[in-house]
Amino acid sequence: AANKTFTMIKPDAVQDNYIGGITQMIEEGGFRVVALKKTRLTPERAGKFYEVHKERPFYNDLVNYMSSGPIVAMILEKDNAVADFRKLIGATNPAQAEEGTIRKKYAKSVEANAVHGSDSDENAQIEGDFFFGEDERF
């Protein structure tokens, strides 16, 4: 699974009509879209997706925010996908994101930071499985 990662375009970026702009940066970054859907997380599902952050002070806000509107989920393919995608999206805090990154261009705040990217091969697998069946991957 070292050549796959998982991403979500978050509610603020979907609301602001950035699906196309962000997906273009992803494709131009050398990633192929293996699976893609627009959907909305219930608070329960958002809570489960971000369960690893349950003890963090920002957890409740994060769950509310991530269930506040539709998101776009994708599985992406590229050599060294997890690390290369984290480089493409930039730092979690957009104030620290480098020029040319997705968050530099589209993120508004640490929470509303436009996109999610998996932090390990193991989590890429878990997160992709959270949204997609085998018959939705090509």
Q: Which of residues 85-104 bind ligand CMP (CB under 6 A)?
A: 92
* 8 Å CB contact between 121 and 79: no
Cα separations (Å) of 48 from 42, 62, 112, 129? 10, 12, 19, 13
Q: Is 118 an interacting residue with respect to ligand CMP (CB under 6 A)? A: no
Q: 110 or 126: whose CB is closer to ligand CMP?
A: 110
Minimal distance in Å, beta carbon 92 to ligand CMP?
Answer: 5
- The yes-or-no answer on residue 116 being catalytic is yes
40 is in an annotated binding site: no
Residue ranges in contact with ligand CMP by CB under 6 A: 53, 58, 62, 92, 110-111, 113, 116
